[in-house]
Structure 1
Amino acid sequence: MTGTDSGPAPGPGSAPAAPPSDRWMDALPQAVLLTRAGLVTRVNAAASRLWGVPQERAQGRPVLEVVRRHTLETLLERGGELELEVSGRTLRCQASRDGECGALIVEDVTDHRRREAELREATAVLSHEFRTPVAALRGVLEALEYDMPRDLSQNFVRQGLQETERLARLVEDLAVGFRPTRARTLPLTEAFARAERLLSAELGARRASLRFGQDFLVRADPDKLLQVLLNLIENALKYGPPGQPIEVLTFERGTWVEVSVLDRGEPILDAESLFGAHTRGPSATGQGSGMGLYIVRSIVHGWGGQAWAERRAEANAFCFTLPGVGGL
């Protein structure tokens, strides 16, 4: 077919060919299908790819032979809008009619729906995680309204400052989740020192200490690595017995480095389920979003690593891997 030839003349009962002026539709990312009297008159290039039918073969055929779904055929007859899940993709389908003529537009909105889901998860993290420190700060401020001995008021002030630090960390965590990855080479001790400094108040309250393993050079976004460490160490502090050291072990695994955070809490029967969104262990108390380990795995998968949990002797080990660049 040449640039001026619109194809063979339609036979009896077939739909007329689309004029050359309609070929701008091939530049559209949406799939477009036009009909007249129940027969396809035109499909653009995106529609041809979506349904696997060459444009010239689709022309003049009944709608069902092209789209192969009664749902879409009915949509074209009635007009309207719906969403379909097809082979793991989400398709938004819109149809309109004008007498005998109809138009079907299909748009792949999978990425848009994924971003909406991520936004809902972020909102869930905010609503749950911010609730506890905000309630604690309210309690501190209400207590400080009353006259009390200086040492007691100072104790309330310290509690308020700790909760303020926690709020600041939550804000930073939120920023990390949406910030583009900025990977660089760094020693693990750099991330360990930042985590220990930020957790100093919680370590003191639990009478716990941190023990770190061998140092390695790794390739990661320092902020995202810190977020993973904070989530895992905080879990160990929360669910391990008070006064016990938290061990952060490191191992070289070929071109990867494995980091394991150990606590001596009760054995976890179904550790894998804890990595799901909004999932908490049976011994969890108080308010929490159940998003900590889900966030950990999401970050680790982002740099190509793995995150898992296992029982090692008398301890629970929460582990992850990250790219290594040689031991120090």
Structure 2
Amino acid sequence: MTHTRPPTPQADAWLDALPQAVLLFQGMPEGLGVVRVNAAAVRLWGVPQERAAGRPLLEVVRRHTLEALAERGGELELEAGGRTLRCTATRAGPGQEGALIVEDITAHRRREAELREATAVLSHEFRTPVTGLRGVLEALEYDMPPDLAQNFVRQGLQEVERLARLVEDLAVGFRPTRARTLPLAEAFARAERLLTPELTPRQATLTFGDDHLVRADPDKLLQVLLNLIENALKYGPAGQPIEVQTLLRGTWVEVAVLDHGPPLTGTDGLFRAHTRGPHASGQGSGMGLYIVRSIVQGWGGQTWAERRGDRNAFCFTLPGGAGSGL
């Protein structure tokens, strides 16, 4: 039978305050016996301290993998119930105490996976404008009529703009915010000016709703608008209008970009990285809505997509700036 020492109130306090599940055990000739479990361990394994103390370790953790880890010491990652657990154990000889520490790192691994995916997608997207710029520069090495050379220069500038947008996308989440109070009309005017070259070939019109004061980083707000309106251009048929609606909701302002694209399906997944709708035209990274969500969540807002009548609406909220000085 394993002999356990009663925990002290001080041990109870600091062990129970830890977010990791901690199980203290003792090495005995007949195996490993539990000495103490903290509050997080009780939640993880569902065995309270009064029932865990003195029992064989395997009866509490119910996994031979964890029992073997406790016997040899070391670290491993374990998938259990859809969660990723980092498990660390210190080895205990006969009469000695050891510890098994289990930390839920599911969210951390998910963020790592999203970052790897986003970086891979953006790295792939950089190849197209770089290749275009190389072709333009190679062409400009040769003598040609001024009007033809000017055409190549315009192509090069367009590719530079694409590169600049990709750099902005890559910086999402890492660039410090520069929030200020500004009228939405200011961001709308910038977006319209930058998107005119894309609207004209598709014979699309762009209209904006009522102006409101908002609190945001102007550059990040512009990036959200550009991604949503470009998304509408990809999904909507040529020649159809795109409308940006605004609505004051308490202390928040809702902005919705509406297009005449086919009805949406699976809207919950549209804002994940590397996801494109089934009706998207042309080439794309599938990063636009993921970037929108990342920026909007940064200022505490929400993003969603829904069907409004015969149009799709891609919506976000941002803090209102009423009462703040410009």
Query: For the residues of structure 1 that align with 2:19 and 2:243, how far apart are their CA atoms?
Result: 53
- 2:309 corresponds, among 306, 309, 312, to 312
> Is the counterpart of residue 76 in structure 1 residue 70 in structure 2?
yes
Residue 230 of structure 1 deviates from its aligned partner by 0.8
Partner of 2:171, secondary structure, is helix
Query: In the TM superposition, what is the alpha-carbon distance from 1:269 to its structure 2 partner?
Result: 4.4
1:229 — aligned with what? Answer: 225
Match of 2:54 among 53, 57, 60: 60
- Give the TM-score taking structure 1 as reference length: 0.77
1:309 counterpart letter in structure 2: E
TM-score, scaled to structure 2: 0.78
Distance 2:190 2:233 in 1: 17
Cα shift at 1:47: 6.1
Deviations 1:168-224 (A, max 9, x none): 122123223323555443211121122223334333444544321111122333333
Taking the aligned partners of 2:2 and 2:283, their CA distance within structure 1 comes to 66
Note closer, same or farther for the CA distance 1:155–1:118 as it changes in structure 2 (3 Å cut).
Answer: same
User: What is the Cα deviation at residue 248 of structure 1?
Assistant: 1.4
User: Residue type of the partner of 1:233?
Assistant: I
Deviation at 1:119, TM superposition (A): 1.9
1:268 matched residue in structure 2: 263
3-state SS of the aligned residue for 2:136?
helix
> Cα RMSD (Å) of the superposition?
3.5
Any conservation in 1 of the 2:234–2:281 contact (CA below 8 Å)? no
Distance in 1 (CA, whole Å) between partners of 2:278 and 2:111 is: 31
1:10-68 CA-to-partner distances (Å, cap 9, x unmatched) read: xxx22353899x96994976525333132336446476555566667644321023334
Matches within 5 A, 1:263-302: 263-265=259-261, 267-270=262-265, 272=267, 273-302=269-298
TM superposition shift of 1:167:
1.0
Contact 2:119 2:170 in 1 (8 A): no
Taking the aligned partners of 1:41 and 1:323, their CA distance within structure 2 comes to 52
CA-to-aligned-CA distance 1:56-89 (integer Å, 9 cap, x gap): 7644321023334444224334655432345765
Q: Tell me how far apart the structure 2 counterparts of residues 145 and 284 of structure 1 sit (CA, whole Å).
A: 37
Structure 2, unaligned runs of 5 or more: none
Secondary structure at the counterpart of residue 274 of structure 2: coil
Q: Cα distance 1:196–1:175, how it changes in 2: closer, same or farther (>3 A)?
A: same
- Consecutive unaligned residues in structure 1, runs of 5 or more: 1-12
Specify the SS of the correspondent of 2:302: coil
The SS at the match of 1:176 is coil
Q: Mean alpha-carbon deviation: is it higher for 66-75 or for 145-154? A: 66-75
Paired residues, number: 312
| Matched ranges for 1:213-252 at <5 A | 213-252=209-248
